[in-house]
């Protein structure tokens, strides 16, 4: 079976640049691929001459190609990128963390460098990390995270909000924040809106730009969102969790070993699968499930009557299935969507409204929960 060029390129797609953490194909580092029978020759352009990673790249390319059936002799030619090519790579990883973040110390590990400890992973952290999660998309997870954060802040707590839904970030728009965060004293200063300090991938990527990063880069970005951001030890750090148990969710769980998880659901019954997914997620991530929040519970008509548009009982059933409390129900309110679109959360726009009162009550219920604390030995082993 003859080896084809596209097989070679596909195999190389899985090769990550050791420093940028992205595919050498996506980064445009693969300059030529020649196939002659079983012999394959690949030209890889390095970002700098005398790149200390050249042996590593050579090794990664060879091991990737060794896995392609029919490949015999492999030649790897290393070249150096022209300034134009380098600019191209920069634009590809653009949307990447700010300049000061782009050259992380090699071989560093979370919390192992002076001044780069993860403040949320230490047993003495005063912060309750509250993950807002859902078993499926579109249930209002971000809406709940944002309004809950603002409600907690209005109740006098210091609050941070981390948008960990990196591929589907929506927090900046919901809070009307678009400014790129500034650096001060080597730390990133999170923008503040409605009393909430915010960090999101959205600050570094254009609204309509896809996030092209692969696992390792995302992992690194999330780490930096925790470690290099000046959160100032808030009472609460709310996390708009990504859906499911993908890479990002796992990274978050690893970095935030003491987070509590709250699941947002809708009133529809037949939510068993959602319950199973949520329970599975928490178990896989080794995080405690602490409560259920039902969203879109009813619509209050102008005549004051309640219409249960999406049915009823889903939140209570999920809470029963997961053996956690149902912390509250949030009505369907056009003001909630309008607020999200305008960048003014409903809780702040109209604190006297029914929906704001619902969030305020849930915020108090969350605050009244007994905080979860991991044992110090668990923390040390991370």
Ligand X SMILES: Nc1ncnc2c1ncn2[C@@H]1O[C@H](COP(=O)(O)OP(=O)(O)O)[C@@H](O)[C@H]1O
By C-beta, is 139 or 322 nearer to ligand X? 139
Please identify the residue of the shown chain whose CB is closest to the bound Mg ion: 142
Q: Minimum CB separation from Mg ion for residue 22, in Å?
A: 25
User: What six digits make up the tokens of 267?
Assistant: 């009133």
Distance CA 172, CA 178 (A): 6
Contact 166, 242 (CB under 8 A): yes
333 binding partner (options Mg ion, ligand X, none; Cβ < 5 to 8 Å by kind): ligand X
Distance CA 34, CA 252 (A): 41
Any contact of residue 306 with ligand X (CB under 6 A)?
no
By C-beta, is 183 or 361 nearer to ligand X? 361
Any contact of residue 224 with Mg ion (CB under 5 A)?
no
Among 64, 153, 248, 340, binds ligand X (CB under 6 A): 340
Q: Count other Cβ atoms within 10 Å, centred on residue 266.
A: 22
Helix H, strand E, coil C: the string for 214-234 is: CHHHHHHHHHHHHHCECCCCC
Contact 351, 359 (CB under 8 A): no
Distance CA 33, CA 335 (A): 56
Q: Count other Cβ atoms within 10 Å, centred on residue 190.
A: 24
Among 7, 23, 133, 142, binds Mg ion (CB under 5 A): 142
Q: Minimum CB separation from ligand X for residue 14, in Å?
A: 30
Among 52, 72, 137, 371, binds ligand X (CB under 6 A): 137
306 binding partner (options ligand X, Mg ion, none; Cβ < 5 to 8 Å by kind): none
Q: How many residues does the chain have?
A: 382
Any contact of residue 81 with ligand X (CB under 6 A)?
no
Candidate segments 7-15, 31-39, 139-147, 349-357, binder of Mg ion by CB under 5 A:
139-147
Among 56, 235, 255, which Cα is nearest to 158's? Answer: 235
Q: Minimum CB separation from ligand X for residue 197, in Å?
A: 20
Q: Minimum CB separation from ligand X for residue 287, in Å?
A: 18
Candidate segments 32-40, 205-213, 325-333, 372-380, binder of ligand X by CB under 6 A:
325-333
Any contact of residue 139 with ligand X (CB under 6 A)?
yes
By C-beta, is 138 or 186 nearer to ligand X? 138
Any contact of residue 138 with ligand X (CB under 6 A)?
yes
Q: Which residues share a beta bridge with 182?
A: 189
Distance CA 222, CA 162 (A): 9
Any contact of residue 166 with ligand X (CB under 6 A)?
no
Any contact of residue 295 with ligand X (CB under 6 A)?
yes
Contact 141, 219 (CB under 8 A): no
Distance CA 296, CA 81 (A): 54
Among 153, 346, 133, 138, which Cα is nearest to 241's? Answer: 133
Any contact of residue 170 with ligand X (CB under 6 A)?
yes
Among 241, 336, 347, 362, binds ligand X (CB under 6 A): 336
User: What six digits make up the tokens of 351?
Assistant: 């604190």
Among 60, 141, 220, 277, binds ligand X (CB under 6 A): 141
138 binding partner (options Mg ion, ligand X, none; Cβ < 5 to 8 Å by kind): ligand X
Candidate segments 30-38, 213-221, 301-309, 326-334, binder of ligand X by CB under 6 A:
326-334
Where b means 16+ CB within 10 Å and e means fewer, 333-369 reads: bebbeebbeeebbbbbbeeebebbebbbebbebbbeb
Which residues in this chain contact Mg ion in the complex, by CB under 5 A?
Answer: 141-142, 170
Which residues in this chain contact ligand X in the complex, by CB under 6 A?
Answer: 134, 137-143, 170, 295-296, 330, 332-333, 336-337, 340
């Amino acid at each position: 079976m003859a080896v084809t060029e596209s097989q070679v390129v596909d195999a190389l797609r899985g090769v990550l640049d050791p420093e940028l953490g992205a595919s050498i194909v996506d980064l445009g580092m693969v300059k030529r691929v020649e196939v002659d029978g079983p012999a394959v020759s690949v030209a890889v352009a390095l970002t700098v001459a005398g790149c200390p990673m050249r042996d590593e790249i050579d090794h990664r390319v060879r091991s990737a190609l060794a896995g392609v059936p029919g490949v015999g002799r492999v030649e790897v030619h290393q070249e150096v990128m022209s300034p134009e090519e380098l600019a191209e790579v920069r634009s590809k990883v653009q949307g990447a963390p700010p300049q000061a973040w782009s050259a992380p110390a090699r071989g560093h590990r979370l919390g192992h460098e002076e001044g780069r400890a993860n403040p949320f992973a230490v047993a003495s952290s005063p912060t309750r990390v509250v993950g807002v999660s859902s078993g499926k998309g579109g249930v209002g997870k971000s809406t709940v995270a944002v309004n809950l954060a603002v409600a907690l802040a209005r109740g006098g707590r210091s609050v941070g909000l981390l948008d960990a839904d990196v591929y589907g970030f929506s927090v900046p728009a919901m809070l009307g924040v678009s400014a790129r965060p500034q650096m001060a004293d080597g730390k990133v200063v999170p923008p503040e809106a409605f009393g909430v300090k915010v960090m999101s991938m959205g600050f570094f990527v254009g609204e309509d730009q896809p996030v092209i990063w692969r696992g390792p880069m995302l992992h690194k970005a999330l780490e930096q969102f925790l470690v290099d951001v000046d959160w100032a030890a808030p009472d609460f750090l709310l996390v708009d969790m990504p859906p499911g148990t993908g890479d990002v969710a796992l990274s978050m769980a690893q970095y935030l070993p003491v987070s509590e998880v709250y699941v947002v659901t809708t009133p529809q019954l037949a939510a068993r699968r959602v319950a199973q997914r949520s329970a599975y997620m928490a178990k896989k991530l080794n995080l405690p499930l602490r409560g259920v929040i039902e969203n879109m519970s009813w619509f209050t008509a102008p005549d004051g009557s309640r219409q249960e548009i999406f049915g009823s009982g889903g939140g209570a059933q999920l809470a029963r299935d997961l053996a956690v409390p149902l912390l509250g129900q949030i009505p369907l309110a056009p003001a909630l969507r309008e607020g999200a679109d305008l960048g003014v959360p409903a809780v702040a726009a109209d604190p006297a409204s029914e929906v704001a009162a619902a969030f305020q009550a849930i915020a108090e219920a969350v605050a009244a929960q007994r905080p979860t604390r991991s044992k110090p030995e668990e923390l040390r082993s991370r």
